[in-house]
Amino acid sequence: MSALPTSLTLGSLRVETPVVLAPMAGITNAAYRRLCAEQGAGLYVSEMITSRGLVEGDETTQKMLVFDELETVRSVQLYGTDPVYIGKAVEILCADHGVAHVDLNFGCPVPKVTRKGGGGALPWKRGLLGEILEHAVSAAAPYDVPVTMKTRKGLDDDHLTYLDAGRIAQESGVAAIALHGRTVQQAYSGQADWDAIAALVAHVDLPVLGNGDIWEAADALRMVEQTGAAGVVVGRGCLGRPWLFRDLAAAFNGEAVATLPALGEVRTMMRRHAELLSEHMGEERGCKEFRKHVAWYLKGFPAGGELRHQLALVDSLATLDDLLDGLDPDATFPERELGTPRGRQGAPRKKVALPDGWLDDTDGRGSHLREDANETTGG
C-alpha cells in the first residue's frame, strides 16, 4: 500500500489537504465555502458559472462571482461549449477577479445541459474537448493559473469517454482531472465505480481526483488506497455536515477522527451558516437561502415535524434563534446516518438527452452549440 497523499499540487498551486469541495449549484456560494474552510484545509470551488455569461457581463453571473474576504485561494468552476468564449472567460477570471484555479465542467448530467452538447455530453466530441482545454490552458498560462477538468465515465456504459478525456487533458496541459465514477445516464443514482477511477490513474500521468460516494473520511482514505487517486472531490457528503472537512483533514494527516456532534453543536453550525449567508446576501435573502439546508442538518436527529416546518420558513436571524432554542442540545448524533447517501439520488435516466446526431461524430471541432448565458447547474 502506498503512502497517503498529504497535500495536492495543481501546477503552481499547493493545496494543504488533498480534498476539494465539489461545486454544487445553489450550495457552494461564498458563505458555504467559508463555513467549510473554517473546518479544515482544502480547495473550495465556487458554484458553476457560464463562460458566455461572464464574457457578456450577465448580471446573475456577476453576482455569483462573490468571494469571502478570507478566501485566499479563489477557485471557480466554468462551464461552456465554445472554445473562444471559454478562453476569454478564463482570461477575465484571472485578470479581473484574481482567481487562482479554474475548473472546467464536463460532468453535468442535467438534460437541459446535455441536450445542448454541454456538461457530461461534451467529452464525446474528442476534438472539441481538446480545443476547449487548449484555449483555457493558454489563456490561464500568463497568470500561472492551473486549469483542471471534471468529468464522468461517459454518456452511458456503451459510450464511455473518460480514458480519452484523460489523455486529451494530459496533452492539453491540464493540471489535474477529476472523475465522478458514474455515467451521465446514472446521474446521482446507484453506486460510483471506483475501478474506473483506478483505470484512469493507470492511464494518465497527471493527478486524478476521485469523486463519488464519499460520505465519511474513512471513505476518502479507502478511495485513495483503492484507486491511487491524488485526492478526493467531496459533494453531497458534506451537505448539512461542514465538519466532514475537519475529519478529512485529520484523516489525511494520519489521525482517525469521526466527528459525531451533538445537536447543540449542529445548532451552532446552523446559526453560523445562516449568519454567513446573511452577511453576503442580506438577512432576508440569506435566511431564505438557508432554508434548503435545514433538512440536511437535522437528518436523523429528533426534531418535531412542526419545528422542522417552521425552520424551513425562517426569514430572520431572530426567528432562527428562537426556533433553534427548541432543539435539544444534548441529543446525540444519529450514528445510523453514517455512511448513508445525502442529497439528491433519484433514478437513472432512461436515455441521455443529446443534440440530434451527436453520436454520429466523435470529433466535433467547429460544431459547438451556444450555451445559455445564465446556465447554473453543477455536475
Would you list the DSSP string of 268-299? HHHHHHHHHHHHHH-HHHHHHHHGGGHHHHHT
Whether residue 235 is annotated as binding a ligand: the answer is yes
Query: Of 353, 69, 14, 366, which Cα lies nearest the Cα of 185?
Result: 353
Kindly report the number of other CB atoms within 10 A of residue 107's CB atom: 30
How far from the centroid of its chain's Cα atoms is residue 92's Cα?
21
How far from the centroid of its chain's Cα atoms is residue 310's Cα?
29
Residue 106 near residue 124 (C-beta atoms within 8 A): no
How far from the centroid of its chain's Cα atoms is residue 97's Cα?
20
Whether residue 150 is annotated as binding a ligand: the answer is yes
Whether residue 349 is annotated as binding a ligand: the answer is no
Q: How far apart are the first and last CA of the chain?
A: 31
Check 36, 108, 238, 287 and give the catalytic one.
108
Whether residue 23 is annotated as binding a ligand: the answer is yes
Kindly report the number of other CB atoms within 10 A of residue 9's CB atom: 16
Cell numbers 484512469: residue: 200
Whether residue 236 is annotated as binding a ligand: the answer is yes
Identity of the residue numbered 286: G
Whether residue 185 is annotated as binding a ligand: the answer is no
- Is 238 considered catalytic here? no
Residue 199, all three cell numbers: 483505470
Supply the residues annotated as catalytic: 108
Binding site for FMN, residues?
23-25, 77, 150, 180, 235-236
